Amino acid sequence: MPGRKKHKLGRVFLYLFAWLTSLFILYPYIVMFLGSLKDLQTMYRIPGTLLPEVWHWENYVNIWKDIPLLTYFKNSFIVAVFGTALCIVCAVPGAYALARMNFPGKKTLMSLIVMTQMFSPVVLMVGIYRAMSNFGLANSLVGIVLLVAAFNQAFAVWLLSGTFATISKELEEAARIDGCNKLSAMIRIILPLAAPGIVTAMTFVFIAGWNEYTLALILIGDSSLKTINLGIRAFFGYTGTEWWYVFAASILATLPILGFFRILERHLTGGLTAGGVKG
């Protein structure tokens, strides 16, 4: 905003607000980080301790040996990556049809699709399990991938159809004159232009897949198929919570996503405002 130099007071407020929010957000992570370096006794000192009495850096080495963390990571990645891919692959043509084609019942269909966003897996738990075992997909990552794709479909379609609607029709028509059919016109002309929306949609579905917990909770039984969230939940045991495990695993689970976000930062929500707003 021009004229900002005049506002010295404004600058101070700006810094203060930024720092206060950041500190508040960081606080649980500091606690988690310090906690992950404590031993169990220090963790439960009363009153609580701020710093570890002995810094157990080896916790980060031991955790890989004590629990199958790598398997958990792998499973979470499979769910997030394939869930995202499937979701987008199904959503793109659907969104394109809704944005560009005219057919009877279009408006109703769009609202129906968007309505499905309101169903949360928690609410449908028992129904989901029943449906999935009818398909023979209980206790498999494939089942979770399909569900992640399905439960994020509404959002992706909504966002992408908004994005497609903002792309000028003429470009596409020009391509068609050049001999492209609808499909290749979409792939060559529309998709690259819709990239901001696609990236945003992908990020969202990816996060939803990575954070997925309730579906895995009811569907996954095999310990070799557990996702990271299930793994972490298991530390809340019968005889007590193994907090340092929880914290170390949590930090390790958060870092890759944070890195991924940093790379994509600019595009995380770009697509939402670029196109989705008209939905």
Site for another protein in 173-202 (CB under 8 A): 182, 192, 195-196, 198-199, 202
* Region from 55-63, 119-127, 168-176 binding another protein, contact rule CB under 8 A: 119-127
* Region from 57-65, 79-87, 169-177 binding another protein, contact rule CB under 8 A: 79-87
Report the nearest approach of another protein to the CB of residue 180 (Å): 16
Q: How is residue 218 written in tokens?
A: 């009811």
Q: Work out whether 223 is an interface residue with another protein (CB under 8 A).
A: yes
Q: Work out whether 116 is an interface residue with another protein (CB under 8 A).
A: yes
Q: Work out whether 15 is an interface residue with another protein (CB under 8 A).
A: yes
Q: Work out whether 54 is an interface residue with another protein (CB under 8 A).
A: no
Q: If DSSP codes are grouped into helix, strand and coil, which group holds residue 227?
A: coil
Using CB atoms within 10 A of its CB, is residue 228 exposed (0-12), middle (13-18) or buried (19+)? Answer: buried
Out of 128, 167, 190, 248, the residue judged to bind another protein by CB under 8 A: 128
Using CB atoms within 10 A of its CB, is residue 278 exposed (0-12), middle (13-18) or buried (19+)? Answer: exposed
**C-beta closer to another protein: residue 136 or 178:** 136
Q: Work out whether 26 is an interface residue with another protein (CB under 8 A).
A: yes
Out of 59, 167, 247, 248, the residue judged to bind another protein by CB under 8 A: 247
Report the nearest approach of another protein to the CB of residue 211 (Å): 4
Q: If DSSP codes are grouped into helix, strand and coil, which group holds residue 120?
A: coil
Residues whose CB is less than 8 angstroms from the CB of residue 243 and which lie 6 or more positions away in sequence, other chains included: 35, 40, 43, 235
Report the nearest approach of another protein to the CB of residue 57 (Å): 20
Q: Work out whether 64 is an interface residue with another protein (CB under 8 A).
A: no
Report the nearest approach of another protein to the CB of residue 94 (Å): 3
* Region from 53-61, 169-177, 231-239 binding another protein, contact rule CB under 8 A: 231-239
Are 219 and 144 in contact by the 8 Å Cβ rule? The answer is yes
Q: DSSP secondary-structure letter at 263?
A: H
Q: Work out whether 252 is an interface residue with another protein (CB under 8 A).
A: no
**C-beta closer to another protein: residue 147 or 167:** 147
Are 148 and 87 in contact by the 8 Å Cβ rule? The answer is yes
* Rounded CA separation 84/78 (Å): 10
**C-beta closer to another protein: residue 22 or 168:** 22
Q: What sign does the dihedral 135-139-145-150 (CA atoms) show?
A: positive
* Rounded CA separation 209/155 (Å): 14
What DSSP assignment string belongs to 4-29?
GGG-HHHHHHHHHHHHHHHHHHHHHH
Q: Work out whether 91 is an interface residue with another protein (CB under 8 A).
A: yes
* Region from 56-64, 170-178, 247-255 binding another protein, contact rule CB under 8 A: 247-255
Q: Work out whether 154 is an interface residue with another protein (CB under 8 A).
A: yes
Q: Which of 118, 116, 140, 156 is nearest to 215 (CA)?
A: 140
